[in-house]
Amino acid sequence: MKAGNILRENNWKKIFGRGEVTVILAVLTLGIIFTIFSESFLTSYNMFNMGRTAAIYIFIAIGQALVVIVGGMNLSLGQIGGMTVVGAGYCMEILHMPPLAAVIAGLLVGVLAGLLNGFIITALKLNSFVVTLATSFIFTGLINGVSQGYPYNDIPEGFTFIGREGFLGIPFLLWLAAFALILLGYFFKYTVTGRRVLATGGNIEAAKMSGVNTNKMIILANIGSGVFAAMAGLLWISRTGSAQPSTGVDWMVISFAVAVIGGTVLKGGVFNPIGVFFAGFLIVMVKNGLVMLNANIYFEQAYLGLILLLAVSLDSIKNIINARKLKESLKRETIKQ
């Protein structure tokens, strides 16, 4: 009986020791609070919409996380999304290309932009911050130059199917995001290339000595980042039925917030798919909840910051409590001896 209790206690400790637990707890706590204070929070319409937004945030966060994992960053993520949107919109409205061809063209934009970032970073041994900052200007210029600021509204109706419909009451977008995270989780845990990418970010010198072609891994991560940014852009068109050149303008903050709150370590080497999934929801819930509670429009940003700060502090609070407990138990052990 006593052994059973210890086992159960250890299991709980293991569960609560996982990185994503705090973000899950934060989501649950906020969910309960918003449900108590707003009768509309748990409606199917609201849940569906939050699911769609969270899905887009997850794609954006994956785009950032992939380069953060190798110790870099992508400041041009939003612009890659914007270029994809403009490229796909241009293909459909101006060139009258079928949606599938436009999607391929959009993804190609992501691949090429990511390749360009990765190539410059590795070939010239430049910091990813500087390179992606520079390319973000190039991409902005291309977005403005091609679109002249005009949106593309002639998007075929079928294109909005994925963005607006769902399966089992869950938006297709969220299914896609979950699938992408599972795929990435598998990639990083069970494939050689995935482990090499993580190793590159964990300790680049050690990875090099182990025979990992780190440049190749960095280029691969940047291409992946470009592809996920492109996917987020395409899914956004699918959701709204319009290709707006301003898409992606505010992605940078979202990408870092979701990725880091979700457990992606800025130093690299760590990716937490479950954490990213719930972090996407956390950000969406806070924003949605503030509107639900009819928060004062002038102080809304302050509330947003406060709630996020509290949510991310949970992890530190958990660590402090754990450290204290460990200290106390060590003290007890010393007294016993």
Partner 1 sequence: MKRKTISVLLCAAMIFGLAGCSTPSAPTKGNGNEKTSGAADGSATEGTESNLKMAWYAPAPHPYFEEVQKGVEQFKSEQNVDVIIQIGPDWTQASENEKVEALIAQGVNALSIYPCDASGANGLYQEISEKMGVDVINFGTDTAKPTTAAFAVATDVKQAAFDATEAVIKMMGEKGNILNVLEVLEDPNTALRKTGVEEAVAKYPDVKIIQEIAGIKTQEEAVNKIESALSANIGKIDGIVCTGFVTSVGMTQTLSDYYEKQGSDKHIFTVAIDTDPGVLKGIENGIVDATVAQNPVGHGYISCMLLKYLSEGYKVKEGEYFVNAGNTLVTKDNMDSYEKDLQAVTKDILDSLTTKYLTK
* Residues 17-56, mask of contacts with partner 1 (x by CB under 8 A): ---------------------x-xx-x-xx-xx---x--x
User: Which residue bears the tokens 């891994």?
Assistant: 217
Please report which residue ranges of 241-292 form alpha helices under DSSP H: 251-261, 273-292
CB of 194 to partner 1, least distance (A): 28
Q: How far is the CB of 295 from partner 1 (least distance, A)?
A: 10
Q: Looking only at residues 273 through 292 of this chain, which bind partner 1 when binding is defined by CB under 8 A?
A: 284, 287-288, 291-292
Strand, helix or coil for residue 139: helix
Tokens for 205? 């010198």
Contacts with partner 1: how many residues (CB under 8 A)?
45
By beta-carbon proximity to partner 1, the closer residue of 111 and 142 is 142
Give the N- to C-terminal CA distance of the chain in Å, as an integer. 26
Nearer to partner 1, 196 or 239 (CB): 239
Four-residue CA torsion sign, 161, 164, 168, 170: positive
The residue among 218 and 284 lying less far from partner 1, judged by its C-beta, is: 284
- Considering beta carbons, is residue 25 or 170 the nearer one to partner 1? 170
The three-state secondary structure class of 229 is helix
Q: How far is CA 251 from CA 148, 190, 331, in A?
A: 21, 30, 48
Establish if 321 lies at the interface with partner 1 (CB under 8 A): no
Longest dimension (CA), the chain: 81
Considering beta carbons, is residue 184 or 252 the nearer one to partner 1?
252
Give the per-residue contact string, 232-271, with partner 1 (x = CB under 8 A; - = no).
----x--xxxx-xxxx-xx---------------------
Q: Is 213 in the site for partner 1 (CB under 8 A)?
A: no
Of residues 185, 166, 181, 167, the one with CA closest to residue 278:
181
* CA–CA separation, 14 and 2 (whole Å): 18
Q: How far apart are CA 235 and CA 175, in angstroms?
A: 12
d(CA 182, CA 273): 7
Site for partner 1 in 169-208 (CB under 8 A): none
Q: Which of 4/169 has CB closer to partner 1?
A: 169
- With beta carbons less than 8 A apart as the criterion, state whether 69 and 264 touch: yes
**Element housing 171 (H / E):** strand 170-171
Nearest to 290 by CA among 25, 22, 33: 33
- Least spacing, CB of residue 154 vs partner 1, in Å: 9
Q: How far does Cα 60 stand from its chain's mean position?
A: 5
Among 297, 309, 334, 336, binds partner 1 (CB under 8 A): 297
Shortest gap between Cβ of 260 and partner 1 (angstroms)?
20
Task: Please choose, from the candidates 169, 171, 207, 189, the residue with its C-alpha nearest in 3D space to the C-alpha of residue 70.
Answer: 207
Q: How far is the CB of 213 from partner 1 (least distance, A)?
A: 15
| Coil, strand or helix at 3 | helix
- Could you give the string, one character per residue 87-126, with x where binding to partner 1 holds by CB under 8 A and - elsewhere? ------------------------------------xxx-
Interaction residues for partner 1, span 140-159 (CB under 8 A): 140-141, 144, 147-151, 153
Stretch that binds partner 1, among 12-20, 21-29, 208-216, 295-303 (CB under 8 A): 295-303
State the residues that interact with partner 1 by CB under 8 A: 38, 40-41, 43, 45-46, 48-49, 53, 56, 123-125, 137, 140-141, 144, 147-151, 153, 164, 236, 239-242, 244-247, 249-250, 284, 287-288, 291-292, 294, 297-298, 300-301
